[in-house]
Structure 1
């Protein structure tokens, strides 16, 4: 009987220790529906201390991008950007939203039915480098 109690104590101790290790880990941000109704996530990327989501509304032909913080409620640099595919390094006015935000940057929209787009974002300490990708649809 004492041996069984010792085994239970060890299992409980390991379980508690495992829970303590997982409590402090940051959870990746999930899409917050900021683009509005009818938009579905078609791609996403980790951009540092947040995630950038590319969405599409098949009824309207518009894409939308939003970057969501991993630490909601805490002001941090966030960046969301979206444009028709270009070889230029500049982003036209209205296709970028960046600044110090507590929850998310964006949404930014572009009509891109049957077209290629460039999209991306940055979060917190990753502000010096915007990660971006392209998507054709």
Structure 2
């Protein structure tokens, strides 16, 4: 009788452990809630954004402690691989950064030093492209363009 109780206890613990592993495995493989700060870093604050049609949003972020801007394009509905891009350009210094490839949820981060400069930035998801030129500076008015190719 003691052996049967031990076997039953081991079986119950094994079932609990396997069930716990399955539950933990499901949670760990779930898609994370992607944010601009999750892509660029927690010190980066969102300073501008532009919709990429209904497919997602391109975010411009800034870190005041290091003077860098970061751009990330984040899909509204993550899923199958789609061509995506995120880019940023500083016309005064000609510094440029981009990330483009097929992704399931976001493109980026792309970083440049932008303190005291206007920046041009944008991104794409599938065949929808958005660009924002001369943004986040007092001297010039930004110009936004969205195209479907």
Name the TM-score, length of structure 2 as normaliser.
Answer: 0.61
Question: Which runs of 5 or more structure 2 residues have no equivalent in the other structure?
Answer: 1-32, 138-149
RMSD: 2.3
Q: Secondary structure at the match of 1:133?
A: strand
User: In 2, distance between residues paired with 1:132 and 1:101?
Assistant: 22
Partner of 1:35: 40
Please identify runs of 4+ aligned residues in structure 1 that moved more than 2 A.
29-32, 129-134
- Which is higher, the Rg of structure 1 or of structure 2? 2
Residues matched between the structures, number? 102
User: In 1, distance between residues paired with 2:46 and 2:34?
Assistant: 10
Name the TM-score, length of structure 1 as normaliser.
Answer: 0.66
- Which deviates more from structure 2 when the two are superposed, residues 112-121 or residues 29-38? 29-38
Q: How much has 1:77 moved relative to structure 2?
A: 1.4
Partner of 1:69: 75
Structure with more contact order per residue of length (Cα contacts < 8 Å, sep ≥ 6) = 1
